[in-house]
Homo-oligomer: A and B are copies of this chain.
Amino acid sequence: MAKLFTRPETMLIREVGPVTPCGRDVSTVAGDPLEVHALLVRDGHDELAAQLRCRRIDPLATADERRWQHLPMAVEHSGLARAIWSPDVVGRHEFEVRAWVDRVGSWRRDLRRRAEADEDLTVEFEVGAQLLERLVRGAAKADRPRLRAAVEQLRDSTCSERVRLTAALDDAVGAIASAIPDPDDVTASARHTVRVDRELAVRGAWYEFFPRSEGGFVEGANSWDRLEAIAEGGFDVVYLPPVHPIGHAHRKGRNNTLVAGPDDVGSPWAIGAAEGGHTAVHPDLGTLADLERFIARASELGLEIALDYALQCSPDHPWVREHPEWFSHRPDGTIRYAENPPKKYQDIYPIDFWPERDEDRRALWTACRDVLEFWIERGVSVFRVDNPHTKPLSFWEWIIRDVQDAHPQVVFLSEAFTDPPMMHSLGEIGFSQSYTYFTWRTTKEELTSYGEELAHAPAAAWFRPNLWPTTPDILAPPLQDGSRNAFVARAVLAATMAPSWGIYSGYELCENDPYPGKEEYRFSEKYELKHRDHDDPSSSWPLLAQLNRIRRAHPALWRMASLRFHHVDNGDVIAYSHRRTVDGVDDTVVVVVNLAADEVREATVHLDLAALGLADRPGFEVRDELSGESWRWGPNGNYVRLDPAERVAHIFVVHPD
């Protein structure tokens, strides 16, 4: 609200973006262009000018990074001001838009009109000289002589009007002047923050396996060979379910039965036993030192280890004894176990994030943070966060900021399958990326509308998807008893629709056995060990590796926003593309998938050629990166035949002539 006794602003800077609806950090990736825009509204008809000011603000910022940088903004006649900013340092940044009346620009515009109308310009030359003169101090040192010379020439009444006019309309002088904020009157927008993440926050290939099924972290165990295979398969991240001691109280048996036998290994998510809690390693997996060596070996192979961050405790967790105040108690004195009446999860005590005494809350939250710091110190920079939607948003906002302030490289994947407002809020308050509903989106219509939402809905600016065809918790209908073709099709979709995807071990062997009436696996690995034949000749592992090679080779596949669907005249065949220009090189990938994976489908694909920059081409080559075959496609519909005996999908790279 304008007040009479403080000088109000002379301009309204509105619709500044990008921002998030709740005013949290906008997220971007180092090096990505970020379009900052604002609408300048001011009375009168003067020309307006604006600049973008930006700087890094997190605690790790150097003195140099903390200094404001200035980028000129292009201002359209409508008042729309825009600039492309590509912050290239990981960390938190802020920006503001500063705008002012371009008095010199307005004067030059009017002077030209006055000259055309043959007005006497004598006074106007002096007007211009005064306007330029007041900008000299704000100009860069190198520009000052030029401005001073222009002032002198405007005042040099010994010159002809023509000469003085030419000096006045010198575009170089105009450009210098327009870029200098008005010394007396600049309006600044509110400041907005941007979290600049590293590439892995948006793009990565994840592979999940249970280390206990592969012999743990002890050198020589099968899991060490697995690391090498996973690296060769082109994955970026190895995600391990919890590696901590597992509780004995109320331990679940195979197939989630209530009573465990003496040999049942228990669910890794029932964290904590006499051996320790969230910072301990399950004795069967090896020692902390073993795990550290394992992490180091992954790093040598170019892999990162993602640990599971599951904030809950088995009744045997040391915290239960040491900090009963961190748990909720019933009137009879017992600790409240997890339940969703009438379902009971007696092997799990949820943490109460709001103990009655605030010092207990601070101690608890700090302890949770220290768990992350413990693993970060040991080389872990990626956390898959279990069920974040059952813990407070403000807890996540605090802990993610606190950790990233010291370790901006840390990536948090949200495992929330819940209502969109919660999933989007988790993204907005800090999670780097999230699991999605992709797992259940199977028809062409479902995949198209969900893909559009992930790529283009407003929330796409802060909600980054990671597509998993299966997880240890979910074996959804298309893959229940699904064929190898179905597994291949879903893998192609996950790997090429979004820049992040994940594979849960066993997928390559088409493990498709559902627990009757559920969307889960029978004999789920959550409750027992799995022995897999990684040398099975029918394994799809080579295909997964090929998908990862294609992904790495094609920047078109590196961002979600480039996703675009194309018309296909068959309801079982889906076609979409990604097109991006990076460093001046245009890369276009078109994917066509047969969703009726076990049946032959023929179809005509109608590409939106304008969107692909092919509008005026008579034809172009498409090369299938899966088979190596090439076809020549024309501007109208193009025929495809997807016969499962040969293939269920094309991943075409477009080569214009």
Contact = CB atoms under 8 A, between A and B. Distances in A.
Interface stretch (A5-13, A547-555, A646-654): A5-13
A358 B398 contact: no
Contacts of A330: 123, 127
Given A4-B365, A7-B358, A358-B7, A21 B12 contact: no
A372 to B, nearest CB: 14
Contacts of A571: none
A545 to B, nearest CB: 39
B41 A10 contact: no
Contacts of A389: 43-44
A157 interface: no
A397 B1 contact: yes
A332 B123 contact: yes
A422 B390 contact: no
A394 B2 CA distance: 6
B421 A342 contact: no
A534 interface: no
A421 B127 contact: no
Nearest to A419: B78
Interface string A520-543: 000000000000000000000000
A641 to B, nearest CB: 44
A392 B419 CA distance: 45
Interface string A11-54: 11011000001100000000000000001011111000000000
A341 interface: yes
A425 interface: yes
A441 to B, nearest CB: 20
Nearest to A130: B331
A113 B341 CA distance: 6
A191 interface: no
Contact of A41 (B44, B340, B358, B425): B425
Interface string A419-433: 101100100010000
A388 B39 CA distance: 19
Contacts of A127: 330-331
A632 interface: no
Contact of A393 (B43, B185, B332, B429): B43
A391 B8 contact: no
Nearest to A117: B342
A401 B1 contact: yes
A417 to B, nearest CB: 14
A146 interface: no
A143 interface: no
A361 B7 contact: yes
B12 A425 contact: yes
Contacts of A394: 2, 8-10, 12
A27 to B, nearest CB: 15
Give the most central of A5, A22, A43, A394: most B CB within 10 Å. A43
A116 interface: yes
Contacts of A116: 342
Interface in A306-333: 330-332
A402 interface: yes
A116 B421 CA distance: 31
Contacts of A43: 388-393, 422
Interface string A398-442: 100110000000000000000101100100010000000000000
Contacts of A397: 1-2, 8
A341 B117 contact: yes
Contacts of A44: 389-390
Given A12-B393, A390-B44, A2 B398 contact: yes
Contact of A421 (B3, B14, B130): B14
Interface in A562-578: none
A362 interface: yes
A126 interface: yes
A79 interface: yes
Contacts of A4: 362, 365-366, 398, 402
B340 A45 contact: yes
A35 to B, nearest CB: 19
A398 B5 contact: no
Interface in A151-192: 185
Interface string A330-371: 111000000011100000000000100010011001100000
A119 interface: yes
A401 B1 CA distance: 9
A58 to B, nearest CB: 12
A329 to B, nearest CB: 10
A300 interface: no
Given A43-B391, A45-B340, A79-B419, 5 more contacts: A4-B362, A9-B394, A41-B422, A44-B389, A117-B342
9 contacts: A1-B398, A2-B395, A8-B395, A9-B394, A39-B421, A42-B392, A42-B393, A79-B419, A114-B341
- Shortest 5 CB-CB distances between A and B: which pairs? A117-B342, A8-B394, A2-B398, A113-B341, A2-B394
